Copies of this chain bind each other. A is one copy, B any other.
Amino acid sequence: MIDLGDLRVPPSLVRFELLKEDARTRARRGRLHTPHGTVETPVFMPVGTAGAVKAIAPDDLTRLGASMILGNTYHLMLRPGADLVGELGGLHRFSAWNGPMLTDSGGFQVFSLAQKRKISEEGAAFQSHLDGSAHLLTPERAVELQETLGADVIMAFDECPPALADRAYFEASLARTTRWLHRCVAAWSRSRSSLFGIVQGGLSLELRRRHAEEVCAVDLPGYALGGYSVGEEPAAMHAGVAEAAPLLPRDKPRYLMGVGTPLDLVTCIAAGVDMFDCVLPTRTARNGLLYTSGGRVVIKNAQYARDAGPLDPACACYTCRTFSRAYLRHLFVAKEISAMRLNTLHNLHFFLDLMAKARAALEAGTFADWAAAFTAGPAAR
């Protein structure tokens, strides 16, 4: 619930409540108050690319205990179109998800999916990967599209520089992303969506520090770290996030975009990150890679053909409570559609349950030991 006595932002915007800081790590236990409900942090946000978390439905998300989900502006602007979603009441009503929601700016997908993209000071021109149609995404347009979709949190339009770009490219890109942030803020109506800024800078602490100063000079309801998990080694990403997270304001939510594996999540919670999103659990589920307390399971493997046991004996999800590994293997091998959903239910349960355990450990003051045990165990591999 929003505490009206402690509001520093309009009630239509999100507000972060820092409940507790861990004594032995930089981990934080907090709450993100949004117009569509309160999110307990650290939080993992399932990705609902095209207005739907792939293979499952909103009631599945509720049963899984998902509190906040993410939508991709790039996908939605191309199909069915942000204006259509807006006409139909916004993305919450359109997709029947009434809880907290975040949209990205579309920038990352333009750089990873679109064809013939061209970046200029104005923005990013590109062709749709669906039909080749021409589009221009600018800071103003990205904010307008996101405000039309109506998520609780919207993201600034930024460039995620290629990991192998040289120093000169990085410096020019970061300066442009800062100018784009100022244009985003100028375009932002503040009516119902809260704008988060994004700090880039790759693996350079110097660039991260400089960009964090520029971005955090703008008073915003939250800040994100972008440009991680784009091909670098996990250890390098973990070290980078550990350096960069403390550069973000203590009293604002910190969102690490596009991360990650169970090991990444626990490690980056310890670095002080509050919010995560990643397609990993849902995408791998559809490919038959399942995360369990005993480690990763490739369900199509022949060793499971006659395995009468549950996928994960320690798991309370519908899939594990109901079916054997042999049956899940059969569904996957037979290309049954329900394999996609049952696998997705399990992987999301694993990721969401991991976050719930991290929060419980933070509350109990046992996070450091819990995290050390988890990262040394089979489930983190």
Give chain B nearest CB distance to A63 CB in angstroms. Answer: 10
Q: In the complex the two chains form, is B88's CB within 8 Å of A57's CB?
A: no
Contact of A57 among B50, B79, B80, B338 (CB under 8 A): B338
Stretch among A37-45, A175-183, A192-200, A327-335 lining the B interface: A327-335
CB-contact partner of A323 in B50, B96, B341, under 8 A: B96
Count of chain copies: 2
Contacts of A80 in B (CB 8 A): 305, 326, 329-330, 333-334
What is the 8 Å Cβ interface bit string for chain A, positions 313-328, against chain B (1 contact, 0 not)?
Answer: 0000010001110110
Q: Is A308 an interface residue (CB 8 A)?
A: yes
A263 vs chain B, min Cβ distance (A): 28
> Which of B55, B96, B318, B322 is within 8 Å of A337, CB to CB?
B55
Instruction: Check if A88 sits within 8 Å of B51, measured CB to CB.
Output: no
A253 shortest CB reach to chain B, Å: 29
Whether A87 pairs with B327 at a CB distance below 8 angstroms is: no
Residue pair A326, B54 in contact (C-beta under 8 Å): no
Complexed CA–CA distance, A89 and B308 (Å): 9
A264 CA to B208 CA in the complex, in Å? 68
A45-85 to B contact mask, C-beta < 8 Å, 1/0: 00000111011111100000000000000000001100010
Q: Which of B57, B79, B331, B336 contacts A334 (CB 8 A)?
A: B79
Whether A287 is near chain B, meaning CB under 8 Å from some CB there, is no
Asked if A95 is at the interface (CB within 8 A of a chain B CB), the reply is yes
Residues of A within 8 A of B (CB): 50-52, 54-59, 79-80, 84, 87-89, 94-96, 286, 305-306, 308, 318, 322-324, 326-327, 329-331, 333-334, 336-338, 340-342
Residue contacts A-B, CB under 8 angstroms, 16 given:
A54-B337, A55-B337, A57-B341, A57-B342, A58-B322, A59-B318, A79-B334, A80-B305, A80-B330, A84-B305, A84-B306, A84-B326, A94-B324, A96-B323, A286-B337, A338-B341
